[in-house]
Structure 1
Amino acid sequence: MSMRFSAMLAFSLMATPVLAAGGGGSTGTDTTPPPPKVSPMKCKPGQVAKVVMKMGKKKTICVKVMGSNLDDRDLYHQGWVLAKAGEYDWAIEVLSSIKNQNNADVLTMLGYSNRKAGRFEVGFAYYDQALALDPKFIRAREYLGEGLVAQGKIDLAKVQLDEIRKISGTGSEEYKDLAKAIDTGI
């Protein structure tokens, strides 16, 4: 399947909590709802999946990101799925259409997408914004640390690892993932 023309977009408009106004993870644990259970939907770049009622039945269709009238939660989930699938520029387009940009989760995923697309400084700026909103947001610290590892700045990555340890201990997924990245240099 061509990345340019279509991608598997995991999506469902199941009832999940809406993103908080600030961001998740203020206690050192991730409070962002997990991505919804998946039902595959193929959309073209610049589009998102939307559930509509047709003849009394729910149907999922692809619509342009701008003007989709999807709520922030649904746009966040679709942006998250796209970013994790390696569709970074498409994810940025979807995440940038979220109305509440003053959200640590949104800023972190924008940072992740830009960093993974090779725009490290842009990604780091988004992580800084997320951490300004919520200094204890360990996912932002993990991704920032991973970016620092990718740049060979292991000492600075270890600072982020230590911050995660102070916030959530050594048992969190974020701590373990960043520790592994530091150990392997990846």
Structure 2
Amino acid sequence: MRLSYLAFAFAVLPAAAFCAGSDDPAPPKPTETTTVCADGLVWDLATKSCMSPADSTNDDNARLNDVRELAYAGYYQAALDVLDTLDNPAAPFALTYYGFAHRKAGRIDLGMAYYDAALAADPDNLLARSYMGQGFVASGDMVQAQVQLTEIRMRGGRDTWPELALAQAIATGVGTTY
């Protein structure tokens, strides 16, 4: 019975996965940032208009929501451009987002360096560990991927999205797309 539950969980996991650090397991709902604004622009909540990330009045929380939405949609450079406007780009979740966007854009080494920085800032950052482990899976380093899975479990991450996503990646050889 447990095996069939795990098989079901892994089958539906991509549809319920986190994107680069959100506490919400559902994919982000498209907003004006990806449905109205031209490439490189974000929806400014105060002015109700599209503007460059540098000119936006959105706070860091809204900017991180934009990053999550853009990364989910595959707009990794746009996500990075928004990250560059954060008041605290060295916060552990920001570093995790940087790592995710760079890794998914094909800059694996740079992405891994950002994950290292995120973990240096917060060794209990389970999401950074999961994404780092998925990067190891993508590069064929299953030993290091397993190290990250063990760390997640040792740090209280059993039955969390970071653990399940990395375990699925190790089992299938394919990481999450977001």
User: Smaller-chain TM-score range?
Assistant: 0.7 to 0.9
1:23 maps to what in 2?
none
Aligned counterparts of 2:100 and 2:53: Cα–Cα separation in 1:
20
Higher relative contact order (CA 8 A, sep 6+): 1
Q: CA deviation at 1:38?
A: 4.1
Alignment of 1:104-123 (within 5 A): 104-123=92-111
Q: CA deviation at 1:69?
A: 2.4
Amino acid of the structure 2 residue aligned with 1:184: T
C-alpha contact 2:45 2:58 (8 A) present in aligned 1: no
Alignment of 1:91-106 (within 5 A): 91-106=79-94
Which runs of 5 or more structure 1 residues have no equivalent in the other structure? 1-30, 54-59
2:6 maps to what in 1?
none
1:40 maps to what in 2?
31
Aligned counterparts of 2:140 and 2:23: Cα–Cα separation in 1:
32
Amino acid of the structure 2 residue aligned with 1:91: A
Q: CA deviation at 1:52?
A: 3.1
Q: CA deviation at 1:163?
A: 0.1
Task: Using structure 1 for the length normalisation, give the TM-score.
Answer: 0.75
1:176 matched to 2:167? The reply is: no
1:64 maps to what in 2?
52
Q: CA deviation at 1:175?
A: 0.5
Gap change, CA 1:77 and 1:40, over 3 Å in 2: closer
Percent identity for Structure 1 against Structure 2: 38
Alignment of 1:6-155 (within 5 A): 33-34=23-24, 38=29, 40-41=31-32, 42-52=36-46, 60-155=48-143
For this pair of structures, how many residues does the alignment match?
150
More helix by share: 2
C-alpha contact 1:36 1:77 (8 A) present in aligned 2: no
Aligned-CA RMSD value = 2.0
C-alpha contact 1:144 1:160 (8 A) present in aligned 2: yes
Task: Using structure 2 for the length normalisation, give the TM-score.
Answer: 0.78
Gap change, CA 1:167 and 1:90, over 3 Å in 2: same
